[in-house]
Amino acid sequence: MASIIQVSNLSKQFKDIHAVEDLSFTVEEGDVYGFLGQNGAGKSTSIRMLLTLIKPTAGSISIFGKDLSTNRNEILKQVGAVIEKPDLYKYLSAYDNLAIFAKMSGIKADKKLLMDQLKMVGLDERANSKVKTFSQGMKQRLGIAVALIHNPRLIILDEPTNGLDPQGIADMRNLILQLSREMGKTIVVSSHLLSEIELVANRMLIIHKGKKIVEGKVAELLDPSRSLVQIETSDNTATREKLQQTKWSSSLQNKEGKLQLKMNKEDVPQLIAELVAMQVQVISVDPMHSLEDYFLSLTTQPGHVESFAN
C-alpha cells in the first residue's frame, strides 16, 4: 500500500522549548490515522508543519511521494483540513459559505454539488440557515464540507471534537467513518480523546512531550490477550486465595486491594462461571485495557518507545 505521508526526524523548537523532537511516522493510503497525545504534546505543532503553517526546525515531510518544502502548492491542492474551529462567515447561510469557499478554491460548483456536500455532512435541511444559529457540532461538520469541496485525497482534522456535546462527538465519529469507508479518503485525526480514536482509527501514533512513544495498528496495540480485567466480589481477599489454587493464578496481578487479572477477554465468561461455581458473589467485571489505559501505561514510563510492524 502506498505511503501518503512520510515524516522523517521532524523537529520544531521555539526558543528553549522543544515542541516536537525527532518525530518520524508514516500514513498509508486509506488509513484513518489517529494522532494521539495529551494537550501540549506537540500534535497541533506537527499538523501545522504538515500544512506548511509553520516551518520545521529540522527534518523532512513527504506527501504523495513529493517533498513538501519544494512542492507545497501542488500538494496542498490535494489536501483538505480543519484546524480546531473552522473559520466561517457566521452571518451567511451554510450554502453561501460553501459556495464562497468553493469559488476561493477554484471549483465551479453548481447547486447540486453544493447540496450533495451539505447532505454528506447532514446539513442539507439547514442549507439556508445562518451559521450563527448553528451548534458547534454543526459548524464542525460544515467546516469538513468546506475542506472536502475540492475532493482532496488527504483530510487532516485537528481536534475535531473539541467543544462538542456527546451527540456532536458521535456525529463527528460517524462522519469520519463515512469518509473512510464510503469515500475511501485517507484521514489524519488529531485528538486527546483516546476512547474516540479507538473507535475510528485503524493505525495510530502516540506522541508525548514532542516525542513518539508508539506507532502501529490499533488492533495489534490493543491485543485482547493483553487485557486487564478487574473484578469486584463480596470478598476480594478470599476470592484471590481461591484463584491462587486454580489455573488463573498465573493471571493474577499484584494490585493491593484490587482483584485484577491479565488475560484474554474471550476467557472472561469461563472465569466468571468458575467463580460462580466456587460460590463467589461477583459484583462487577470491568475490562480495563482500553486505548486510554494503554496510553497511560506508556506515558508513565519515561523514555519508553515501542514500534509495531505495519
Q: How far apart are CA 272 and CA 285, in angstroms?
A: 9
For 303, the grid coordinates are 523514555
Please tell me the predicted confidence (pLDDT) of residue 130.
Answer: 96
Specify the higher pLDDT residue, 287 or 31: 31
What does the pLDDT look like over 246-267, one tens digit per residue? 998 888 887 777 788 878 777 8
Cβ atoms of residues 154 and 4 within 8 Å: yes
Please tell me the predicted confidence (pLDDT) of residue 295.
Answer: 65
Per-residue pLDDT band at 303 (split at 50, 70, 90): very low
Residue 169 above 60 pLDDT?
A: yes
Please tell me the predicted confidence (pLDDT) of residue 302.
Answer: 47
What does the pLDDT look like over 170-210, one tens digit per residue? 888 899 999 999 999 999 999 877 777 888 999 999 898 89
Residues 6+ apart with CB under 8 A from 47: 35, 81, 83, 156, 158, 188, 190
Count CB atoms within 10 A of the CB of residue 165: 12
Q: Identify the CATH number of the domain defined by range 1-78+152-218+291-310.
A: 3.40.50.300
**Strand ranges across the sheet with 17-28:** 17-28, 3-14, 58-63, 66-67
Please tell me the predicted confidence (pLDDT) of residue 163.
Answer: 81
Per-residue pLDDT band at 306 (split at 50, 70, 90): very low
Nearest to 29 by CA among 160, 153, 126: 153
Residues 6+ apart with CB under 8 A from 275: 231, 233, 239, 282
- The answer to whether the pTM exceeds 0.85 is no
- At 25 the three-state DSSP class reads strand
In terms of CATH architecture, what is 224-289? Answer: 2-Layer Sandwich (3.30)
Exposure string (b/e) for 265-289, b if CB count within 10 Å is 16 or more? eebbeebeeebeeeebeeeeeeeeb
Q: DSSP states of 145-211 as a string?
A: HHHHTT--SEEEEESTTTT--HHHHHHHHHHHHHHHHTT--EEEEEES-HHHHHHH-SEEEEEETTE
Number of helices and strands in the chain (H, E): 11, 14
Please tell me the predicted confidence (pLDDT) of residue 230.
Answer: 84
